[in-house]
Structure 1
Amino acid sequence: MATSWNGLSSVLPEESYMTLITALAFTVLWLLWSISSYFRCRNRLPLPPGNFGFPVIGQTVEHLLALRTADGIRQWMQKQVDKHGPVFRYRFVGYPMVMMSQPEGNKFIFQNEGLSNHIFWPSHISTMFGPHAVITQSGERHKLVRCHLNRFFDRAAMGRYIHGVNCNAIRHFTNHWQGKEQLVALDIINFFTGSCVCNLALSLEEGPLMYRILEETQTWIGGLYCLPINLPGFRYYKALKARGSIFKLLDGLMEQRRQMIAEDHVPEALQNDILNSLLTVPDEEGNLRQDSFIKDNLLILLFGGYDTSSVTLAMTIFYIAKNPHVYEQILQEQKLIVDGKCSSGENENALTMEDISAMKYTWGAIQETLRLHPVLTGSYRKTVTDLEYEGYHIPKGWLLNWNSQHSHYNPKYFKDPFKFDPSRWEKRPPPFTYLPFGGGVHLCLGYEFARMEMLIFIHHLVRNFSWSLVDPSYDGPIIRDPLPRTKDRVLINVKRVIAS
């Protein structure tokens, strides 16, 4: 005989009765959720093709090893594209990652930044940059920090800096090139770019303190793209130690400057540098910046204005040496600028922003170097909502990787892509195919400064020196350590010429 619910309730303890009701309720809810999930999954787009590889680690080691040479990451990407197509998934430092290796993917990421995705760095790299650095910020916070720093890097600011950078270049060639027959170009150029950025940020001239800061910065940069093993002897450990050393040096400079500010005795030459602004200009809430904020962002500025520019100039020198006709065309362009200044009675060594704008072929040579060997090959964004892209479903919390290597070497966008050809820059490439300075709201803050600095350097270089590679037959590999360079750091023979 069937037992009624009322009868059952009379023979079961109250606790058992409530347990049974709860179990039945959860069972019903689970069935409803399962049915709903079935129909959702049936209608959902597929995940991007690819595989996640080993648990947790995925393809992290394989990807980092590929980054060690310029061709390595391009070849790794091409292998994945050949196998899976232009959009594929893999796992990197524990995160599911989607590579969008075509211009449309770059456009999708940049135009949706702050809406469906935001900036992301693996935790070990975020630790290296610091929690307050502009490069790690997103949304409104990034906008406010960038706004504070942007006034040092807009076109109006370049007009204020050009005289100092020009004088620095003249002094650099007199002190470090004149009288030399052979040079390691990358090491020597570090003195120039390091001096420029230290003067801009800290009003530091060449000397022991500047050299110490730059030496520690190089060690710090060396740990950005390596396995995050924080044990003695490993690069990441050394990089973290270097970060601490840099901050101690900055602490000393900040203490000195604060004392000058308190006594109202800041020399005029120091009043317009970035350090002074960070110490005296309040944030959006009217409060002065914390020391950790100041140091994080000064370190990022040292990184952006030091090694990135020096490796680009060294590699440009390498390619000019490999292509003598490029040297001749650059020299003729610079002579035209000087001749025009002389005919109008101007100082031939006093460059202006108009002169910089006239260096179109020279800038084309630098752009071509950056196409072949960009300092930054790509970076990461994290999805904040489920996405649909190119017929694929990308879940919330996955990473997106924009990357320039596929388009930079694609003959569809750059004819004969392995050829060094500055004349190709007489026309603009299609949008989102050329990204050496990144894109979107995180476009390189110091782009205009780097452009001016590098053009001034090449101007004085070709007017005063000719050079050749010590090993003219060298064609690679180009090492990324983590920035691009030749094995010999661009070792060159140098010959003084008469400026005209």
Structure 2
Amino acid sequence: MLNRLLCNVIYIYICTAEHHIETYFMSKKMATLLLPNNYEVCLCCYTLIVLVPSLYLINRFVLKKIKDRNYQHQSTCDIPPGSRGLPFIGETLHFMAAINSTKGFYDFVRVRSLRYGNCFRTNIFGETHVFVSSTESAKAILKNESGKYSKRYIRSVGELVGNESLLCASHQQHKLIRSRLTKYLLSTGSLSMFLKQFDELVIQNLTAWEHRATTVVLHEALKIASEAMCKMLMSIDNGPKLELLRKEVIHVCEAMLAFPLRFPGTRFYMGLQARKRIMSMIEKEISERRSGLGVCREDFLEHLLGDDDHKGCHDDATNTNSSTLSDAEIQDNILTMIIAGQDTTASAITWMVKYLDENQEVLHKLRNEQFQVASKTPTGSFLTLEDLNDMPYASKVVKESLRMASVVPFFPRLALHDCEIEGFKIQKGWNVNIDARAVHLDGTVYNDPSKFNPSRFEDESKPYSFLAFGMGGRTCLGINMAKAMMLVFLHRLITTYRWKVIDQDSSIEKWAMFSRLKSGCPVIVTPITYASA
């Protein structure tokens, strides 16, 4: 805790010394309020704040170094290579610099992978992180989550999605929550209903593209995905309530990789405040439904509350029945699913549109398949699960887009016991991150990995070599829903327009938890017909 506190203080100190405090507090107004005009006085004050705790904590630092050295000598295996960075703060500043660049935070990992190899360690936010990038390591970790590893995101992500989220839950808690959510999310009936709703939203949205000079794909995909998820989860489908929720979720997403400092004006603080407002909205919705004030809905929230009602605990917000979910678990996981369904899917769709524009042969083959599907579909009808199953090449395009983009670039775990990975010693309590992007671009696994080639998936892929949705007991619950969303969007776009991407820049958006294009992929579209296809 003291290490993290000092890490926060040092970061402010460094920002001030370099006259960059405005970039951290997000606005000139905030910087003016918080800092005196005399920078010399300011530097002296912050120097005292830094040096006094440093004298107290230096003893802990030295003892930790001795402990780690003794631990290393106790085993025939060495700890992974890497750098501890600066005392106490490690390489946090390098990590933050990568986040605030157009290369994305993954560039921090890429540079160190080139320097140290497939397994290296670093220190971020006062904690040791190990990154591994081989299919063998991915398999060893993901197959042993119940005993050796548990899921764990960095502090900022955990606080924003909540302790009861599937992303942060312990093994036993995860099993309970997952079993309850699976009943609805993976049922054929709910998926078919969601498919119809999403298809309708896509058709409505695409109609407006024809009348615009340019359209930014990311913005439109976010809008569609957000409305689809909110409607499926809580029947929020239009109006100011939907727009407010969408804006609050954006604030939460933007804060996920921010420096975890609870200070007014910082990105992380604004994200926490947005989370509180979202929790209040969901809590109010739950209360209204329990009191009978709300209209009965056929949605995800009603499913969870209905199950509780059948067990006699619908009105108990803090029930202890081990087979039901608490309100906190419901709220945290609704927020998690909105973020996952909105941000990751929209980002993946954007990359897919860009890749297809750059690979016209693939696009031509895909368009032929999609018009064949369209010819079998009655005019005015919506796509069905059977239609999606009749899109084998489109499914490969989706999979290849996910491999190339690696929207979720790594999967974090926590070592529950001392263990070994790739011949290196891993200490209990260390964070172990599976580098999915490196696995997806591994030339020993994928031939010519930098080439967009959907046909590569005609052959059976090596186990644990495709990690877009994770693997093992914590595989993404929304895997079928995400694939369906991408296929529906792809079908409607392919059969409605030809498009040209007008900004080929592949720079990554700053502060994005999930890799997405800074440009948003602006396109110019031209309507097509069956005859011109």
Q: TM-score, normalised by structure 2?
A: 0.79
Instruction: Give the deviation of 1:293 after TM superposition.
Output: 2.3
Q: Give runs of aligned pairs for residues 137-148 of structure 1, distance below 5 A.
A: 137-148=169-180
Partner amino acid for 1:228? P
Cα distance in 2 between the residues matched to 1:72 and 1:209: 32
Residue 445 to residue 109, structure 1, CA distance change in 2 (3 Å)? same
Of 355-364 and 106-115, more deviation after overlay is shown by: 355-364
Give the Cα separation in 1 of the matches to 2:247 and 2:459.
Answer: 39
- 2:508 corresponds, among 462, 465, 478, to 478
Q: How big is the shift at 1:104?
A: 1.0
State the Cα distance separating 1:431 from its structure 2 match: 1.4
Alignment match, 2:11: none
Q: Does 1:488 align with 2:528?
A: no
Does the Cα contact within 8 Å between 1:338 and 1:348 map onto a contact in 2? no
Partner SS for 2:452: coil
Q: Deviations over 1:20-57 (max 9, x none)?
A: xxxxxxxxxxxxxxxxx989945542222223121222
CA contact (8 A) 1:376 1:438 kept: no
Change (3 A) 1:256 1:285: closer
Where do residues 430-449 of structure 1 align in structure 2 (5 Å cutoff)? 430-449=462-481
Task: Name the SS of the counterpart of 2:256 in structure 1.
Answer: coil
Query: The residue matched to 2:525 in structure 1 has which SS?
Result: strand
* Aligned pairs for 1:401-416 within 5 A: 401-416=433-448
CA distance in 1, matches of 2:242, 2:463: 39
Shift of 1:428: 3.3
305, 310, 313: which one pairs with 2:346? 310
Pair member with larger Rg: 1
Separation of aligned partners in 2, 1:216 and 1:456: 27
Distance 2:288 2:103 in 1: 46
Q: Which residue of 2 aligns with 1:17?
A: none
- Say if 2:273 is the partner of 1:247: no
1:67, distance to aligned residue in structure 2 (A): 4.6
Question: Using the alignment, how far apart are the partners of 1:361 and 1:235 within structure 2?
Answer: 41
CA contact (8 A) 1:385 1:396 kept: yes
Of 149, 158, 162 in structure 1, the residue corresponding to residue 195 of structure 2 is 162
Report how far residue 73 of structure 1 moved: 5.3
The residue aligned with 1:327 is: 363
* C-alpha distance after superposition, 1:358-395 (max 9, x if no partner): 22222222222221222211132121211123322222
The change in CA–CA distance for 1:82 and 1:318 in structure 2 (over 3 A counts) is: closer
Q: Which amino acid aligns with 2:394?
A: T
Residues 68/433 of structure 1: CA separation in 2 closer, same or farther (3 Å cut): farther
Q: String of CA shifts for 1:250-302, please: whole Å, max 9, x gaps.
A: 23322332233xx7x844xx1x3111123232378278644322211110011
Return the match for 1:229 from 256, 261, 264.
261
**Distance in 2 of aligned mates of 1:348 and 1:423:** 32
C-alpha distance in 2 between matches for 1:38 and 1:484: 39
> Over residues 103-141 of structure 1, what are the superposed CA-to-partner deviations in whole Å (9 max), with x where a residue is unaligned?
111111111112011112233321111111121112111
**1:280 and 2:306 aligned:** yes
User: How far apart, in 1, do the equivalents of 2:486 and 2:510 lie?
Assistant: 20
Map residues 108-127 of structure 1 onto 2, 5 A cutoff: 108-127=140-159
2:392 corresponds in structure 1 to 360
Same amino acid, percent of matched pairs? 26
Please give the alpha-carbon distance, in whole angstroms, between the structure 2 residues aligned to 1:39 and 1:72.
34
Counterpart of 1:222 in 2: which secondary structure?
A: helix
Q: Distance in 2 between matches of 1:467 and 1:39?
A: 58
CA distance in 2, matches of 1:76, 1:49: 15
Give the alignment of 1:258-273 within 5 angstroms: 258-260=290-292, 266-267=295-296, 270=297, 272-273=298-299
Equivalent in the alignment of 2:430: 398
Residue 385, structure 1, aligned to residue 417, structure 2: yes
Whether the 8 Å CA contact 2:88–2:126 is kept in 1: the answer is: yes
The alignment's C-alpha RMSD in Å is: 2.5
Moved more, 107-116 or 483-492: 483-492
Return closer, same or farther for 1:56/1:465 CA change in 2, 3 Å cut-off: same
SS at match of 1:47: coil
Counterparts in 2 of 1:34-73, with a 5 A limit? 41=73, 44-67=76-99
Query: How far apart, CA to CA, are the structure 1 residues paired with 2:519 and 2:452?
Result: 20
> What's the counterpart of residue 66 of structure 2?
none
- Name the SS of the counterpart of 2:374 in structure 1: helix
Seen in structure 2, the aligned counterparts of structure 1 residues 123 and 486 have a Cα distance that, compared at 3 Å, is: closer
Q: Tell me which residue corresponds to 1:149.
A: 181
The residue identity in structure 2 corresponding to 1:452 is: A
Deviation of 1:455 after TM superposition, in Å, equals: 0.6
Please tell me whether the aligned partners of residues 470 and 491 of structure 1 are also in contact (alpha carbons under 8 angstroms): yes
The offset of 1:499, in angstroms, is 5.2
Q: Taking structure 1 as reference, are residues 121 and 484 closer, same or farther at Cα in structure 2, changes over 3 Å only? A: closer
How far, CA to CA, are the matches of 1:215 and 1:38 in structure 2? 50
Are the counterparts in 2 of residues 464 and 499 from structure 1 also a CA contact under 8 Å?
no
Distance 1:376 1:39, change over 3 A: closer
CA pair 81-170 structure 1, distance change in 2 beyond 3 A: closer
Aligned counterpart, 1:30: none
- Does residue 337 of structure 1 match 2:370? no
Which of 232, 251, 259 does residue 219 from structure 1 map onto?
251
**CA contact 2:225–2:341 (8 Å) conserved in 1:** yes
Kindly state the Cα deviation for residue 169 of structure 1 after the two structures are TM-superposed. 2.4
Aligned residue in 1 for 2:226: 194
Q: Distance in 1 between matches of 2:100 and 2:444?
A: 26
1:456 CA drift (Å): 0.9
Q: Deviations over 1:294-337 (max 9, x none)?
A: 21111001101111111111121122222222322221111111
Count of aligned pairs between the two proteins: 451
Q: Which residue of 2 aligns with 1:128?
A: 160
Q: Assess, with a 3 A threshold, how the Cα gap between structure 1 residues 60 and 360 changes in structure 2: closer, same or farther.
A: farther
TM-score of the superposition, structure 1-length normalised? 0.83
The 2-side partners of 1:291 and 1:285 are apart by 12
Q: Residue 333 of structure 2: which of 297, 312, 328 is its match?
A: 297
Q: Which runs of 5+ in 1 are unaligned?
A: 1-36
CA distance in 1, matches of 2:299, 2:424: 48
